[in-house]
Every structure is written in structure tokens, then in C-alpha cells.
């Protein structure tokens, strides 16, 4: 029996900001068996892929050719013929300088089904994040997107661009910027025409240089801007002073690494992102179910106190009760949690808990966690213990971390608990990255004293620690520190 062909989805990942994705994009990633992804997309977007999915890097840099296009075409065909759902994940929009036509044609020749899911195109998004709409009834009623690569300079209709288009966006044109400016001027564009170059548009590390056709080359050289970049040309750039918004966020331009210990969304990372920071979370975690008997679960309901060590342990335990049709109302124990995040998760599941610091010593205690007992924090003592879920590091992301850090110099490293210190040290080393070197150069923040003591075991002293151990307090310290620097 012949195996059914898979399907290929060409997906536009947008320009970088992880929020600029679509519902259809998300669904395609969540059911992928194989993802072929490019350099310029935000690697955080790959976290939506299921645990079994094969992640294949196809990126090219300005200095390396990477995988040849014909090899990418062959991979798409072979993986689909093997019956896999394949996602070709491209930065920006796959139809805008994304070679989607060439890749789709190779599938058509083999009668392989495919879909093309548009993404937010980089020139429009980067321009808006820099405070410039690409059209405006007073400044620009027409807009063009042009490849800025060196080898295409003779193929461009420069006269048409100058005479017929108000605003022009050149993709990846930094190396060719002198020729772009020279051709626009020689074909009739004023030397005083405003120009804006945007590097890493929509990321927290976005950097912009504003000038004119006469001086932009020198200004970009002074700032050492490189691709990926969008070069915007036109009078519409004059609106920038009034419409800037992204670059006014308090943590704009700051790069953070948050040491991660859970699978749930990091509230610290989320807060930093909303404030304009560029955030890497590492390592990436995934969970699997543990086996338990109904009689065992029912016996747990006889304890006087239950202490949950993580949000995952909460979900794991309550999901097991649901699986065996055990009513949550049978839980008579007083519930306690280690973190406010776990408290919130319990509340969302209809149960109220107090923090461990408020726990009394009366009655029997069951600790419910997400790791084997031998790896449990010794401060918990030798109490009864149940591991409600298996949690482990997703090692697919170990090879991604060094590439992320090559593109993104980290200013601040943040730790939420003792375990986060061990995990970053251990898995950073497994990823082949010099964590100690990064910590020597970066500002270090911790939530509480125990985390600070753990950090000192590795020879580092935190620069920031809030008076109260909370995410909100640490983020407030970071914001205040950044304002003071400005």
C-alpha cells in the first residue's frame, strides 16, 4: 500500500515580533511533523511546534551561503512524499522576496498539495515600528518594495521609481546603499530626500538611522548597521518625529535572557517584552504524563496539607484527577504553593491556595512536584512526595541558542529561583555556549536571596534583587535602572 503524501505549508512568520502571527499560522505549526526555517524569523516562534516535530535550519547569513536552494526544494519534496506535514517557515511574508514561487513549483511537479499562508511583510511592519506609515494622503499615495541586493541594481527601473512612486522600501540593501542613493539621485531624486534605515525591525534590538540621500551612507557606516535591514526613502519619513511609539517604550534597546524552569508562559519575560525589551528564554521545557492508579490518587485526598512546587505540578495533578473522574471537591487538604504563578494557576482551576511562607506545621503533608524526589529542593525536607508530571528540557533548542546569541548581545540575565541558575549553567554548557563569559559582561538580576546565594556558588554576585521576592518588583527595578541610565 502506497503511503499517502503529506502536505506543505509555506508560512510567513512576520518580521520578528512574536506577536505578529496569525491564527492560521499557529495551527499550521502546531500540526507540523517537519519545519524548515530561515535565519531571520524569531526562534521563539518554533516553541509552538509539537515535541515530535523535526526542526531543520535552512538559514543564510550575509557571510555564508547556507543550504543551497535546490537542496531546500528536494527536502520539501522528500519529506512530503514520506507522508509528513511540512512547514516552510519564512521571515516576513513568503511571497515578498521569499522564493515561494520556486519552492512551490518543485512541489507542483510531484503533485504534492500545498498552501501559502501570508505573513506580515517586513518593510511595512519595520516602518510602522519606526514611526513611519508607508502611505499617507499628504506625503505618499504610492509605495513600492524593491530588492536591494547588489546583483539586481541594473535591473531596477530607477526612472519609474523616482517619477511614479512616493515611498520606496529596499530590502537587504545596506551593502548596496551607495549604489541605491547614487541611482536615485542620478535619476532625478533630490539629495535632500529623507532616508531611514531600520535594522532588525520590530525586535527590541531594532536600530534606526535617519538621514538624506546625500548623507545616509556615511551615517549608516558610522553606526555599523548591517543586514537584515529595510531602507525607506521618501518624504513620508518626516512624520516619524510625531508618530514614534515603539522606540519610546521604557526597555527599548535592552536585551534580556530569562533563565527558564517551566513550560508555562514566563510572566517576567512577558512583562519585559511588553515594555519593549528583546527577550530570550532558555532552556525550553516540555512535559509528559506520569502513570498513576485511581486508588493512589484517592489516598492523596486524605492528607491535611498539599504543597505544589510549580504550575506544571498543579496541572499534572488536577489533570490526573479529571482523567479518573475524581471530583476536585473531594480535596479537603489545605493547599499551598511555592510561587504566585502556581497560586494563580490553581485559582484558574477553581481552587484557592496560600503561599508556602504561610503554611502551618499541623497535619500530614504531601508535596506534589514535577521532578524526581532526589532532585527536589532539600529545603522541603523528607516529606511524602508525588511527581504529578514529567518535565524535561527540549534539546532541539540547544543548537538554536548559540545562533540566537550570535545575533543578540545580552545586556541582562535574570533568574527566578535556584533551579533556574543550575539549568542555565548546565544546559548552556550542553548548547556549547559560554554562560560564564556572558554573566561576566551582563547585569544579573535575581528575585530572592536564595537565588542570589546559588549564583554565588558559581562565582557571580547579582546586581539587582528586589526587597520583596516578586516578578513585579524585579521588573520595576529593571525599568528604574534603565530610566536612570537614560
Name the helix (H) or strand (E) containing 217: helix 216-223
Contact 408, 278 (CB under 8 A): yes
Distance CA 135, CA 80 (A): 41
Which of the following is catalytic: 128, 172, 268, 465?
172
Distance CA 454, CA 450 (A): 6
Q: What are phi and psi of 383, to 5 degrees?
A: -80, 165
Contact 25, 133 (CB under 8 A): no
24 is catalytic: no
Which of the following is catalytic: 5, 60, 344, 356?
60
44 is catalytic: no
Question: How big is the chain by its Cα radius of gyration, in Å?
Answer: 26
Size of the chain, expressed as the number of residues it contains: 486
Contact 347, 318 (CB under 8 A): no
40, three cell numbers: 531571520
Count Cβ atoms below 10 Å from residue 384 Cβ, excluding itself: 12
Largest CA-CA distance found in the chain, in angstroms, rounded: 86
Which of the following is catalytic: 17, 33, 38, 411?
38
268 is catalytic: no
Distance CA 354, CA 333 (A): 12
CA atoms within 13 A on the CB side of 38: 26
Q: Which residues are marked as active site?
A: 38, 60, 172
Amino acid at each position: 500500500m502506497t503511503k499517502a503524501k503529506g502536505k506543505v505549508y509555506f508560512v510567513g512568520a512576520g518580521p520578528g515580533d512574536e506577536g505578529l502571527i496569525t491564527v492560521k499560522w499557529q495551527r499550521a505549526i502546531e500540526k507540523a511533523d517537519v519545519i524548515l526555517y530561515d535565519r531571520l524569523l524569531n526562534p521563539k516562534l518554533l516553541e509552538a511546534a509539537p515535541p515530535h516535530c523535526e526542526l531543520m535550519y535552512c538559514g543564510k547569513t550575509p557571510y555564508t551561503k547556507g543550504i543551497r536552494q535546490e537542496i531546500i526544494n528536494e527536502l520539501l519534496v522528500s519529506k512530503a512524499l514520506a507522508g509528513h506535514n511540512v512547514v516552510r517557515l519564512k521571515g516576513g511574508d513568503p511571497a515578498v522576496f521569499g522564493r515561494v514561487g520556486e519552492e512551490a513549483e518543485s512541489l507542483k511537479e510531484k503533485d504534492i498539495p500545498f498552501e501559502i499562508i501570508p505573513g506580515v511583510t517586513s518593510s511595512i511592519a519595520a516602518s510602522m515600528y519606526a514611526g513611519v506609515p508607508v502611505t499617507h494622503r499628504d506625503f505618499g499615495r504610492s509605495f513600492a518594495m524593491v530588492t536591494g541586493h547588489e546583483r539586481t541594481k541594473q535591473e531596477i527601473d530607477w526612472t519609474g521609481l523616482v517619477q511614479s512612486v512616493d515611498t520606496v522600501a529596499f530590502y537587504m540593501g545596506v551593502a548596496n546603499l551607495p549604489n541605491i542613493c547614487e541611482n536615485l539621485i542620478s535619476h532625478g531624486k533630490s539629495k535632500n530626500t529623507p532616508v531611514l534605515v531600520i535594522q532588525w525591525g520590530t525586535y527590541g534590538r531594532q536600530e534606526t538611522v535617519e538621514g538624506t540621500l546625500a548623507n545616509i551612507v556615511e551615517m549608516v557606516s558610522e553606526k555599523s548597521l548591517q543586514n537584515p535591514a529595510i531602507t525607506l526613502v521618501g518624504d513620508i519619513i518626516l512624520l516619524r518625529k510625531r508618530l514614534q511609539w515603539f522606540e519610546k517604550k521604557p526597555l527599548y534597546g535592552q536585551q534580556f535572557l530569562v533563565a527558564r524552569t517551566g513550560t508555562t508562559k514566563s510572566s517576567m519575560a512577558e512583562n519585559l517584552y511588553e515594555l519593549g525589551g528583546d527577550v530570550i528564554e532558555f532552556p525550553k521545557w516540555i512535559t509528559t504524563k506520569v502513570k498513576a492508579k485511581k486508588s493512589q490518587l484517592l489516598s492523596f485526598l486524605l492528607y491535611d496539607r498539599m504543597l505544589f512546587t510549580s504550575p506544571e505540578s498543579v496541572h499534572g495533578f488536577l489533570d490526573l484527577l479529571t482523567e479518573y473522574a475524581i471530583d476536585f471537591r473531594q480535596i479537603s487538604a489545605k493547599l499551598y504553593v511555592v510561587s504566585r504563578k502556581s497560586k494563580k494557576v490553581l485559582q484558574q482551576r477553581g481552587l484557592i491556595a496560600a503561599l508556602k511562607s504561610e503554611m502551618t506545621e499541623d497535619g500530614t503533608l504531601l508535596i506534589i512536584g514535577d521532578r524526581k524526589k532526589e532532585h527536589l529542593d532539600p529545603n522541603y525536607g523528607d516529606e511524602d512526595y508525588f511527581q504529578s508530571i514529567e518535565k524535561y528540557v527540549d534539546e532541539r533548542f540547544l543548537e538554536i541558542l548559540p545562533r540566537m546569541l550570535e545575533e543578540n548581545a545580552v545586556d541582562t540575565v535574570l533568574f527566578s529561583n535556584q533551579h533556574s541558575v543550575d539549568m542555565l549553567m548546565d544546559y548552556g554548557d550542553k548548547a556549547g555556549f559560554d554562560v560564564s563569559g556572558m554573566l561576566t559582561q551582563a547585569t544579573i538580576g535575581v528575585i530572592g536571596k536564595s537565588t542570589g546565594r546559588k549564583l554565588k556558588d558559581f562565582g557571580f554576585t547579582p546586581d539587582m534583587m528586589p526587597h520583596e521576592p516578586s516578578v513585579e518588583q524585579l521588573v520595576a527595578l529593571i525599568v528604574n535602572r534603565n530610566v536612570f541610565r537614560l
